[in-house]
Each structure stands twice: as C-alpha cells, then as structure tokens.
Amino acid sequence: MTGVPASAAGGSPGAKSATSAPGAPGAPSASGDAKPVRGGKLGAAAVNQASLWNIANILTMVRLVLVPGFVVLMLMDGGYDPVWRAWAWAAFAVAMITDIFDGHLARTYNLVTDFGKIADPIADKAIMGSALICLSYLGDLPWWVTAVILGRELGITLLRFVVIRYGVIPASRGGKLKTLAQGTAVGMYVLVLEGPLATLRFWVMAVAVILTVVTGLDYVRQAIVLRRRGIAERQAAAEGAER
C-alpha cells in the first residue's frame, strides 16, 4: 500500500475500481498486515532519513554546545551575579529539556544512531558535571556531593560496558526519580536563592544524593545478578553442546 491515489499514479478507471472494491481478490483490506509508522507522515519521513542530521541528534548537539556556554555564564563577574546565574539556569534548563525530547524522538521515530548512542550520555554527564563542578568551585556546594554524584554516574557508565555482553539492565523508576531530583536540585543551586527557598534546595539536594547512592547500589546488584545468570547460561549451553 503506497497511499497514492490511482488517479495520481496514472491508473485507469477499471484499475481504480479493482483496487478500491472491498473484498476484491488481492485488494488490501482495512485490517491488513501492513502497520502504519507511528507518528504518521512525520514518522515515515523520519524513518527514511535516520541519518546523523536528524532532529534527535541535533538536540544532542545543541546540548553539547550549551555546556561551555553554561560554564561561561556561571562564572561571569566572579560567579555570584544573580542575573548571570539566571541566564546560566536558563541554559541548564534548556539542556535538561532537550535531554528528555531527544531520547523520546529517537525511540518514537526510529532515529537511533551510533552517534546518538555515544553522544547522548556524554552530553548528559557533561552538563550535569559542569554544573556540579562550577557550584563546588564557587563554594555553593560541598565537593563531596559533587564527588558522590559524578563518581556514581561514571562508575555506572563503566559498569554498563562490563555487563553489556550479558544483557541490558532496564531503566528503573528509581533511576528516573534520581535524574529528576538531581536536575531539580542542581537547577535550584544554580539560581541565587535566599530564605526558605535556599533551605528547600538543601533538602532537595539531600534527596538527590540519597537516590543517587541507593539507585547506584541497586544497579550494581542487578549487574552482578545479570552477570552470574549470563555465565550460568553460557556454561549450560557449552555442556549441552558437548553431549
């Protein structure tokens, strides 16, 4: 089914009736096997053009470009000017939003590429890492908080490469909550807040740190279980082949 009218395809009137008559031999039915691409015309176009320059990859590139701009805005005028910090927060917010949309678009319209697989996690770590390091450098956030969060993220990234041969650990609800808590907490620290909001951001960051540690330990547990299961399956397969 091409979706092109017979008249546009140059067909004769008889061909039109033969192709459109319900129940005609060989005529496609409404409940045929062909399934439309999710997203309609946009989805079909995206599937056919899943190259480096697709919308998901462009958003990832934008996020990478925002990293140095964010750092410059954070450190302008000594790093304590509320106006510059507000602009830095805007850059950070845009980066976090594009992180949500680029993954959604890539999965929905089949725009997953090798570049995206590599660049997307790098962009995520780069924007979050630069924000944490800037905040600690300016004295707004203890260095141990930055070390815990970045250590967890880098450690889990390395662990993924170790266990990828045995399978993939799916994203958990705790991991998504951790990402939300980290983004919210860091965003509140980027802004120059006083009074109750300054107290609130402390507790939001505390929740983010707790979720970071808990989800990190849970990921390690799942990786160990996955590795053991994978080794056992390989040994069982090898024993079965010898028989």
pLDDT at site 50: 53
Domain annotation covers residue 26: no
Question: What digits encode the pLDDT tens for the residues 51-93?
Answer: 678 888 888 899 999 999 999 999 999 999 999 999 999 999 9
Question: What digits encode the pLDDT tens for the residues 22-51?
Answer: 444 444 444 444 444 444 444 444 444 456
Q: Does the pLDDT of residue 111 top 80, yes or no?
A: no
Please indicate, yes or no, whether residues 158 and 76 belong to a single structural domain of this protein: no
Domain annotation covers residue 96: yes
Rounded to an integer, the average pLDDT of 88-117 is 83
Residue identified by tokens 């092109």 is: 4
More confident residue, 4 or 241: 241
Rounded to an integer, the average pLDDT of 191-202 is 94
Distances (CA, A) of 52 to 19, 48, 111, 126, 161: 39, 12, 9, 20, 23
Chain centroid offset of residue 121 CA: 7
pLDDT at site 138: 96
CA distance 149 to 79: 22
pLDDT at site 168: 77
Please indicate, yes or no, whether residues 232 and 145 belong to a single structural domain of this protein: yes
Domain endpoint, select from 106, 140, 174: 140
The closest alpha carbon to 174, from 196, 207, 145, belongs to: 207
pLDDT at site 22: 42
Q: How many residues does the chain have?
A: 243
Query: Of the given ranges (94-108, 116-130, 134-148), which has the lowest mean pLDDT?
Result: 94-108
Domain annotation covers residue 23: no
Please indicate, yes or no, whether residues 119 and 161 belong to a single structural domain of this protein: no
- What pTM did the predictor assign? 0.72
The boundaries of the domain holding residue 190 are 141-243
Query: Of the given ranges (58-67, 94-103, 188-197), which has the lowest mean pLDDT?
Result: 94-103
Share of the chain above pLDDT 70, in %: 79
